[in-house]
Amino acid sequence: MAVPRIDPVLDAEARVEPNMILVPPASAAHDWHASSWFEGGWVMPMGGYLLRSADRTILVDAGLGPEAPAGIDPSAQLLDNLGTLGVTTEEVTDVVVTHVHIDHVGWLAPQGQPLFEYARHHVHAADWDWIRSGPASGAGTDGVWDILGKVSDLVEIASGSRTEIADAVAMRLLAGHTPGNCTVDVETSDGPVVLLGDTAYHPVLLVEGGWSSHADLDHAGAARSRETVADEAERSGALLFGAHFPGGAPGRVVRDGAGRRQWCSVTR
């Protein structure tokens, strides 16, 4: 059965400079950050997505949370925005953690107590083992194990390359950004949807070769994972949502008449 609804659940936003995050190919112009890709600036969302089917309410990623790291504005809207969608924390049946960075687990245990107390929390084994073995797993990992340790009784470890979460919803290992980084692949009545998490920080990483991101732990692995996603999406026509794409806009990978990959942004 297809998942009828996918809704973004915003927690916070930050305006970022492209060169804080992206590394262009060597051939890029020196003013690459002023190209049309970055017109209007990059307002980066942080939050999650809510998937609702007849019997499941699945939150994919849990935002930055109420105790944001220094230097980031903690607007902490996730709970309010869940409420606007008509969902209480008790109604969430599953939380899928695409990867163990602080901006994806922030609401799991505010004040040290599990917030989604009736939900199974799905984390990939490769990320679980990596963050548990800390310290110093890199940017974005401070405090993450403190949070995950508080929900460990609720965690179901995913392993292998693909884990079915519910009918039409699966986690898929696409390592690189972190060792256990996953996408969430969803079959909807409008066709396939891929929630990328941070597999790609920006659409340019999916359609132009040679880009990388400071945020990826394993640059070569992350590039391979992005190529897998882009190649499949081009063939399947999947709608792709990136956790931090500018303005949260999803899109599709298409090929133009000249045989070049293009990003086709979709207004929902």
Residues within the interface to Zn ion (CB under 5 A)? 103, 198
Closer to Zn ion at the Cβ: 185 or 198? 198
Q: Identify which of 128, 118, 263 has the alpha carbon closest to the alpha carbon of residue 196.
A: 263
Place of tokens 């690189």: 176
- Is residue 59 within 8 A of residue 96, CB to CB? The reply is yes
As beta bridge partners, residue 14 has 44
Residue type, 88: T
For the CB of residue 25, give the shortest distance to Zn ion in the complex, in Å.
23
Residue nearer to Zn ion on the CB measure, 172 or 177: 177
Give the residue with the Cβ less far from Zn ion, 13 or 103: 103
Distance CA 40, CA 15 (A): 11
CB of 242 to Zn ion, least distance (A): 9
H or E segment and range at residue 122 = strand 120-124
Peptide bond into 135 cis (omega under 30): yes
**Is 157 strand, coil or helix?**
strand
The distance of closest approach from Cβ of residue 135 to Zn ion in the complex, given in angstroms and rounded to an integer, is 20
Residue 11 CB, shortest distance to Zn ion, in Å, is: 11
Q: How far is the CB of 56 from Zn ion (least distance, A)?
A: 24
